[in-house]
Chain A
Amino acid sequence: MTDRVSFRERIGFRRVGGVAEAGWGRTLAVALVSFIYFLPVLFIIFTAIKPQALALSVPPTLSPTSFFGLIPDHFVFTPTLDNFASVFSRVMTAGGQPESTGFDRFFFNSIVIASASVLLALVIGTLAAYGFSRYPLKGNDTYLFIILTTRMLPAIVVIIPVILMFRAAGLSGSYLGIIMLYTAFNLAFTVWMMKSFFDELSTDVEDAARIDGSSEIKVFFKICLPQVIAGLAATFVFGLILTWNEFLFALLLTGPDTRTVPVAMNQAVSSGGRGTDWTLLAAIETLFLVPVFLTTFFLQDHLLRGVTFGTVRK
């Protein structure tokens, strides 16, 4: 037998044998439900490639292609990439000078802030989780519970003290401030997630490494970490999605230079005077999807193992 992964397995069908594969009826039903869930995303992506004039047309134009005559002509629009171009700079109607929208900066901010804080949380949290798992304190569970409670609290409850603290410390509007805040946010989740992965590992393997002459540092880096790569990947993606989408704290604690995309988008919607440019907004949103989508896509093999706890052993 070859180990080649068939196309059907790759797209998520189960391997035949043991569990019976669903018939066409059920498969189509699932496809239909999935499509309904995907519809809003699809609508945004299509809006992003519509000519601006058609954004609010009634009835709406639905598709960039007629699908071989399947869709009547008045629902079809001609796709354009103009909206993506104008995400970063647009030609103003009056003066004719291209004006920067600032979104190059906002995307840069989002990427720097999200990745820095998630990676920091991953480094600190993984070390902490290893400590909680292998060198338990007296009252270990109490500490872990307290860490978890920081996650149970609705964010809105702590917003006022956080703002005051940031003002007093001069961190408002700085990268450092928002990165520290997001790191703290992600830490609770990272510690819990990674601890459960470390708990799953066989301590015999670590003992064997000790006897074979490994120091504690080497045991951690050479023996334990390679076994929890799936967990690191899963934790990274979850943290990234949470941080990437965060709005409330970003709104209150970032300044004009450190503004993230969600906040900037909000301001683009409500910017006075000219009204909302829906196709531009759709283009921003589409771009906003890409980094998380790519990360998830490249880590998918690890994610499948990472999200199913208890299967990392052996």
Chain B
Amino acid sequence: MSTIEIRDLTKKFGTFVAVKDANLSVAAGEIVCLLGPSGCGKTTTLRTIAGLERATAGDVVIAGQRVNNLPPEKRDIAMVFQFYALYPALSVGQNIAMPLHREAVGSREVAARVRKVADILHLRDILDRLPGQISEGEKQRAAVARAIVRDPKCFLFDEPLSRLDVELRHSMRGQIKAVLSNLTKATVIVTHDQLEALTMADRIAIMRDGLIEQVGSPHEVFAKPANVFVASFIGTPQMNLIDAQFKSYGNGKAKVVFDEQDVDLSVHPAVANLKPGRVTVGIRPRAFTVVPEDTRDTIDAMAELIEPMGAETLIHARTRTGSDIRVVVPRNKRVKIGESLHLVPDPAQTHVFADDGKAVRT
């Protein structure tokens, strides 16, 4: 079985802890994205799986075998690098053929397999060129071709699309996903682009400062962020995170105070177990309904800046005491600058985070 598992993985560079107690398992045929801001340890995690870095503590298990002490060439993996890392002195065809050399296959077989992946990735016409003579998109495809030409135990991608322009990135995202879905290998993709992670991954592991903050399906991490960091990192425009005082809970509603407004919010019943005190309320910009009347259920704010985004309109509104609230409304909803907005949040999309930043759901 082609699986990857990391157990309590820690990687230190001197005194700097790049990855701390990371646990993650990737099933056969599953694509897991490591997502996080730059410097969060996601590339280090990937390089440790590849064997390019040695784990300080913990285990890396590939296909059921502990590989901590195996060098990269013995781990039977394929990796695509951020800057493609094509061999400059070899032609595209020779680059793709390189991983096959260790398999002791005949030159006719090598040529046939190179031709096969070259067809999949539309590289047929440039097999004789050197990496210096082809475009960024072609380099990217050549790097992917080199990874899939063999039949390794798993695939690792390090920011595979970050160097492509927007249009190319869009089409390559689909192509890579299509290629990978035909292979039943464990795949780890490192990215800092949440859209890339949400579209390509079966599951996403969100990292910050060397810690894995949450692992879940794209839907899960979006709909049920485990903590304030994940809530703020996933989703555009960013989720509104409002500092508030929690007073009490009753009838499925929490009484909270923020910016001198008393609001009754429909929230998760687990909030009942919370002691009164400081909380963070998270509401996605698309989770508001604009109502005509100011009631106890509404958050009130004044439209300050209006950004049309095509199908929808993003409104930056300000409460009386100066907190920013982002609201997304359909295109046909006309709002003028200076207009008072009465906002009712969708109960299913209202998150309460306790003082320690963790979501209150149990």
Asked whether A207 and B89 contact (CB < 8 A) given A212-B98, A213-B101, A215-B73, the answer is no
B79 at interface by CB-CB < 8 Å: yes
CB-based contact A205/B88 at 8 Å: yes
Within 8 Å by CB of A211, from B73, B82, B83, B101, lies: B73
Give A212 to B88 CA distance when docked, in angstroms.
Answer: 15
B164 at interface by CB-CB < 8 Å: no
B120 at interface by CB-CB < 8 Å: no
B86 at interface by CB-CB < 8 Å: yes
Give A180 to B79 CA distance when docked, in angstroms.
Answer: 45
Asked whether A226 and B71 contact (CB < 8 A) given A207-B52, A211-B78, the answer is no
Name the interface residues of A161-211: CB closer than 8 Å to any CB of B. 202, 204-205, 207-211
Give A314 to B136 CA distance when docked, in angstroms.
Answer: 12
CB-based contact A207/B73 at 8 Å: no
Asked whether A205 and B86 contact (CB < 8 A) given A213-B99, A213-B102, A314-B132, the answer is yes
Give A212 to B101 CA distance when docked, in angstroms.
Answer: 9
A300 at interface by CB-CB < 8 Å: no
CB-based contact A208/B73 at 8 Å: no
CB-based contact B81/A208 at 8 Å: yes
Give A208 to B90 CA distance when docked, in angstroms.
Answer: 13
In the assembled complex, the CB of A89 is this many whole angstroms from the nearest CB of chain B, namely 48
CB-based contact B88/A210 at 8 Å: no
In the assembled complex, the CB of A129 is this many whole angstroms from the nearest CB of chain B, namely 19
Interface residues on A, range: 10 to 19
Contacts of B81 in A (CB 8 A): 204, 207-208
Contacts of A214 in B (CB 8 A): 73, 98
CB-based contact A205/B85 at 8 Å: yes
Name the interface residues of B39-81: CB closer than 8 Å to any CB of A. 47, 50-52, 71-73, 75, 77-79, 81
Interface of A is mostly: helix
Output the residue of A204, A208, A209, A314 with the most chain B CB within 10 A: A208
CB-based contact A210/B71 at 8 Å: yes
B146 at interface by CB-CB < 8 Å: yes
Contacts of A223 in B (CB 8 A): 87, 89
In the assembled complex, the CB of A300 is this many whole angstroms from the nearest CB of chain B, namely 20
CB-based contact B101/A207 at 8 Å: no
CB-based contact A212/B99 at 8 Å: yes
Give A213 to B79 CA distance when docked, in angstroms.
Answer: 12
Nearest opposing residue in chain B for A216, CB measure: B71
Where the two chains meet, the residues of B that have a C-beta atom closer than 8 Å to any C-beta of A are 47, 50-52, 71-73, 75, 77-79, 81-83, 85-89, 98-99, 101-102, 132, 146
**What are 14 inter-chain pairs, A to B, with CB distance below 8 A?**
A202-B83, A205-B87, A207-B72, A208-B85, A209-B87, A210-B72, A211-B72, A211-B77, A212-B73, A213-B73, A213-B99, A214-B73, A215-B73, A226-B88
Taking A202-B83, A208-B146, A223-B87 as known contacts, 7 extra A-B pairs with beta carbons closer than 8 A to each other, sorted by chain A number, are A205-B87, A210-B71, A211-B51, A211-B75, A212-B98, A226-B89, A314-B88
